[in-house]
Amino acid sequence: MEKLFTLLDNNYDEMVAIRRHLHEYPELSFEEVETPAYVAAFHQALGHEVREHVGERGVVATLRGGKPGKTVALRADFDALAIQEENDIPYKSKIEGKMHACGHDGHTATLLGLAKALNAIKDEIAGNVVFIHQHAEEIAPGGAKPMIEDGCLDGVDVIFGTHLWAPTPLGDILVRDGAIMAAADKVEITIQGKGGHGAEPHHSIDAVALASQFVVNAQQLISRRIDPLKSAVLTIGHFEAINPFNVIAERVVLAGTVRTFEEQVRRQMEQELEAVLNATCLAFGASYEYRYTRGYPPVYNHVKETEFIAQLAADVPGVENIITCPPFMIGEDFAYYLENVPGTFFFTGAKKPEWEVAYPHHHVRFDFDERAMLIAAKTLGKATLQYLQENQ
């Protein structure tokens, strides 16, 4: 294992260079062209078996060890976000309105650096390593599902993945078996009333007033309909009525998200949200359109593989604390991989020690401590070699 750690230490400067290059040239979900080409070329130069356009835009590279054995898959995503970066850094995004604001550039650099290190000792490896470079994690339906349908998990025995996590101090590893991330669904609503003069509300059906009432009423689902020992989040993030100030709006468009962990709660929110909408509109004679779109399912980590990571990470250089974290209400399409093969998804702390507070993921000033990539690579690398050794 020390040999792998030394190789990764030697690769660190290249990992940083890769991360910064990708950061300068971000590509949005389902628009990735140059990034997968870059990733594929890197693996091809190492002599790995490479499949491009997996599930449309993904890349899958396979390292064959010198001895027969099991197959471990490691996954990194590479899409960016439609955000205008406001960081003043040498490697600031050069693409207007696009930014790696979630760390996917770091995920990709981590996996490429690890791939190079493992390649240097491939003759000693008893088994295979599959590097899954996934497009479109940020936008449902995401890239994981089509990549799986296109065979990225064929022959895979176990899968590991990590997310560089800026709010958590460098050196911390966050693990949790069972539900660690939530289902992420989308709600789209149109309320149709009857427009009128702002001074004559009695001749109209005020869609703004109705929509406002619905938003307030809907929160009662969380506080009064969902079991208080279970979790759900309802956020209406979009409320639009394009209208002059003195005109009663006849139409309002709403959109939001629902986050849950359990299928029964997810189904309850989907059904009762419309019931509240129907009752609110019925009371005043308005009509509505309702669309509930299921996004990624919850991320459920397997117990054995989570305990495996928690135990081995304690001996990884740079790791200071192994923390069992609470569930996060954010979503991740890594969930699909875990529905098909055993594995676990964990968080690698990436907050710089000198930061009092880290800018959150998806923020215009988001950044992370690049040393977290080395910790992540060592943890994933050790997990790969130890798993293959223990399961010969």
Residues marked as catalytic = 79, 137
Answer for the pair 175, 345: CB distance below 8 angstroms, yes or no.
Answer: no
Sign of CA dihedral 327, 332, 334, 336: positive
CA-to-CA separations, 202 to 87, 152, 195, 247, 279, in angstroms, rounded? 51, 61, 11, 13, 20
Q: How many CB atoms lie within 10 A of CB 53?
A: 13
CA-CA distance, 163 to 334, in Å (whole number)?
10
Strands (E), 261-328: 287-296, 299-301, 321-324
Question: Which residues does 146 contact at the CB level (< 8 Å), separation at least 6?
Answer: 55, 56, 58
Q: What is the CA radius of gyration of the chain?
A: 24
Answer for the pair 78, 61: CB distance below 8 angstroms, yes or no.
Answer: no
**Start-end of H helices in 171-262:** 207-220
CA-CA distance, 15 to 122, in Å (whole number)?
20
